[in-house]
Structure 1
């Protein structure tokens, strides 16, 4: 039987990019009985603090302190390749926040997920609130949500 789990935290792992300072993390998927290093599995996400990068880009013309930032990158191809697909139910609900509901974007992402053999859906309303989307997910027992944000929320 194949079972996977998320790896632990390696506190001594050095950042892979020069712009990460202080907090840095990577998320790996590994087999249950794999006692090797955390990086022996499939990399699913990486991220950390981007303060140094933002401070380098911040214009000296602005008054005040430069902004701070934290973020992550998802390795969607690795997630798709390593995620078991349950063909009998909707696995993913594609949601949106802002931008007038982002209906076309939600529909395009659902189509891409279907091409990758994920059964995906979206709330069939032009501009649903996050509450409506969460309630829809709860009513349909959907555990995985992808939320598309407009740039004003990023």
Structure 2
């Protein structure tokens, strides 16, 4: 059962978190291009699509910690420091996504839809969004490393 739970957890992470990290990273430059070329309907649609991918896969991503907790319980590692650290980083990543990345994308998507720079200082807004997206991605990278290395684990690398 442990191998099944772990496989589902890893697959869910790849399928759910991967698209969010990629789409979120692509969003700021796509928004800059769409705002610069306000007449380009394709650029605006790209921005809307990237935002939709981030929203949908953020919700789907809830499956990852659910199966992660089930796997950890099955393995008997719920109290291990590496797992507690991973949980904390996952919570921070979720907050960064929900409080900073998605609302920032929403504001820029609305600005693109309006065909003007309603976000106020497009360059500054997209640079800040790129920065918080980078923080989000780094948090997931740290969680991934902890999941692979598992410091103190007898089964770790």
TM-score by length of 2: 0.26
Higher Cα Rg, which structure:
1
Which has the larger share of strand? 1
Higher relative contact order (CA 8 A, sep 6+): 2
